[in-house]
Amino acid sequence: MAGTSHHTLPLPRLDNPAKVLIVVAPYYKDIADNLVAGARAVLQEAGASDVLIEVPGALEVPVAIAQAHRMADFDGYVALGCVIRGETTHYDTVCNDSSRALTLLGLQGACIGNGILTVENHTQAAVRADPKAQNKGGGAAAAALHLIALGRRWGGERRDVGFRPQGEEIQLAQSGDGGART
C-alpha cells in the first residue's frame, strides 16, 4: 500500500552471543538463498552465530525445529522457505499447517522467527526475499533475536503452573516440609 510506513524495532543487545539454527526449505532455491543471506546478515550484525540445515519442504521446517529444540542446544530458530499458490488446495494446507506448528512451538518456549513466505507468485516472493528489498529473512532473524532477548530477560524467574513433576513432590515430602511450598 503506497504511503504506508512500517516501524522496525532496533536489534536487541545481547550480553552473550546467541546460537541460532536456521532451517530452510530450498524448494525455490533462488528465494531460499536470498532469505538465508538476509537472515545471516542480521544475525552477524547482532553478534550471533548460526547453523544452517536444509529440509525438503515447508512442512518439515517445524519438525526439524522441534527436534532441535528437544535435542540440541540453540537459543533460537529461524524458519525459512517459500510457498507459492498453485492450482490446488495443497497451498492452504502447507501455509496453515507450517505456520500453526511454528506458533505452537513458540508457545512451548522455542524462540522462532517465521520467515516462510506465502505468496501468489514468484515475483512477490523475490521482492520479499531480497535482502535489499523487503528482507523477510532478515526480519525473521530479528524476530528470533527479540524473543531470545525476552527469554533471557525473564529467564531467571520460574513460576509453578499448577503442578509439580512427580520427582520434585517426592523430594519435598522427604525433606520434611510435607511437600508444602512457600
Smallest CA-to-CA distance from 130 within 30, 19, 20 is with: 30
Average pLDDT over residues 123-141: 98
Cα–Cα dist 106/95, whole Å: 17
**Domain-wise residue ranges, the chain:** 19-154
Cα–Cα dist 95/119, whole Å: 10
Confidence band (pLDDT; 50, 70, 90) for 155? confident
What letter represents residue 10's amino acid?
A: P
DSSP secondary structure string for all residues of 105-133 = HHHTT--EEEEEEEESSHHHHHHHH-TTT
Q: What's the pLDDT tens digit per position in 70-122?
A: 999 999 999 999 999 999 999 999 999 999 999 999 999 999 999 999 999 99
Fold of 19-154: Rossmann fold (3.40.50)
First-to-last C-alpha distance (Å) of the chain = 55
Is residue 80 helix, strand or coil? strand
Average pLDDT over residues 131-149: 98
Smallest CA-to-CA distance from 14 within 38, 51, 44 is with: 44
At residue 165, the pLDDT reads 52
Per the confidence metrics, is the pTM higher than 0.75?
Answer: yes
At residue 4, the pLDDT reads 79
At residue 85, the pLDDT reads 97
Q: What's the pLDDT tens digit per position in 13-43?
A: 999 999 999 999 999 999 999 999 999 999 9
**Is the model more confident about 123 or about 3?**
123
pLDDT above 90 covers a percentage of the chain that reads: 80
Average pLDDT over residues 50-68: 98
At residue 5, the pLDDT reads 82
Active site annotation includes 69:
no
pLDDT above 70 covers a percentage of the chain that reads: 84
Pick the catalytic residue from 7, 69, 90, 146. Answer: 90
